[in-house]
Homo-oligomer: A and B are copies of this chain.
Amino acid sequence: MNTNPKIAVFGGGSWATAIVKMLSENLEQVGWYMRSQSAIDYIKENDHNPNYISSATFNVNQLYLSSDINEMVKYADILIFSIPSAFVKTELDKITEPFTSKIVFSAIKGIIPESGLIVGEHFNKILNVPIENIGVITGPCHAEEVAMERLSYLTIACKDEEKAKLVSKFISSHYIKTKISDDIIGAEYAAMLKNIYAIAAGIAHGLGYGDNFQAVLMSNSIREIKRFIKKVHRMKRNINNSAYLGDLLVTGYSVFSRNRMFGNMIGKGYTVKSAMMEMSMVAEGYYATKSAYLLNEKNNTKTPIIDAVYQILYENKNPKTIFKNLTELID
């Protein structure tokens, strides 16, 4: 294994920007693919992303920027994807360069709608990347706090421990501590599922439920996550590790979480459509809710919270009634 690999980040959002910042602490050069050429031009001129965590500044000479995804695939040995799951397939479809020999890490929290697979599975099953070349980078981590260099802990998961260690080395710094794991499937599902519970937390808040209920909701959420992941991929894991419980908490308790904000608007009476328009974006958890619900129709795990969010978002059910019902199903 090349111990001095070229690494590139794919994505232009806040989490992608945060990962570029982390890598910049250790690498002489960081590849950064963004779809938007104007964003790239802006960064070259102003040393920061115009749209996301703009307080994070870069030494532009250290960045290898391109809006040509094939150029970036060719450049890098390790590819870190951080694109909203809804757009991943469109981006991957552009790739003509071979990348089955690349190491691919996902920092995406979601299911790819077109395949119904989490990102690691998608790379493996659809794009034939060997499973030992696939990894996951997961929180608990708000990108905004990375910009402020506040101490954060990340989990780097890969079946091949050496690759997890290698990526950990390049991600770690005085404000980033890393832990390695071999649970790529569980880590990705947890990262995806937590957004659904953040929406639930937001809905509860919007409906007027208080902190006492919120604590019960989170306690039930982590138990639901455990059941869900156990069914999808049974292995020994401590669901209370930071990658699972920590990631749930940082999202569920954050007023900055877009998923929680989206849920809050739904709880306050906005329609799904108007909440999305108001936010001028789609919360990851919106897609995750449908994917998780459909997956669970097969798996048949008891997931009253996912079911409640699904009924509200996709079946146009009344949040107040659904949550009243939910209060009888959790404990």
A interface residues, Cβ below 8 angstroms from B? 139-142, 145-146, 148, 150-153, 177, 179, 208-216, 218-220, 222-223, 226, 238-242, 245-247, 249-250, 253-254, 256, 327, 331
**A245 nearest CB across to chain B (Å):** 5
On whether the beta carbons of A331 and B153 are closer than 8 Å, the reply is: yes
Task: Give the CA-CA distance A223 to B222 in the complex, in Å.
Answer: 14
Which B residues lie within 8 Å of A145 (CB)? 210-212
CB <8 Å contact, A140 and B223: no
Q: Which of B247, B253, B331 interacts with A179 by CB under 8 Å?
A: B331
Query: By the criterion CB–CB under 8 Å, are A246 and B216 in contact?
Result: yes
| CB < 8 Å neighbour of A211 from B179, B215, B222, B250 | B250
CB distance from A167 to the nearest CB of B (A): 17
Q: Which residues of B contact A142 (CB under 8 A)?
A: 210-212
Contacts of A239 in B (CB 8 A): 240
**Alpha-carbon distance A245/B177, docked complex (angstroms):** 25
Given contacts A219-B242, A226-B240, 5 further A-B contacts (CB under 8 A): A211-B253, A215-B242, A216-B246, A218-B245, A219-B241
Given A151-B327, A240-B223, verify A212-B250 contact (CB < 8 Å).
yes
Complex contact A247–B215 (CB within 8 A):
yes
Q: What residues of chain B lie closer than 8 Å to A246, measured between beta carbons? A: 215-216, 218-219
- Measured CB to CB, the closest approach of chain B to A26, in angstroms, equals 19
Across the two chains, which residue of chain B brings its CB closest to A212?
B152
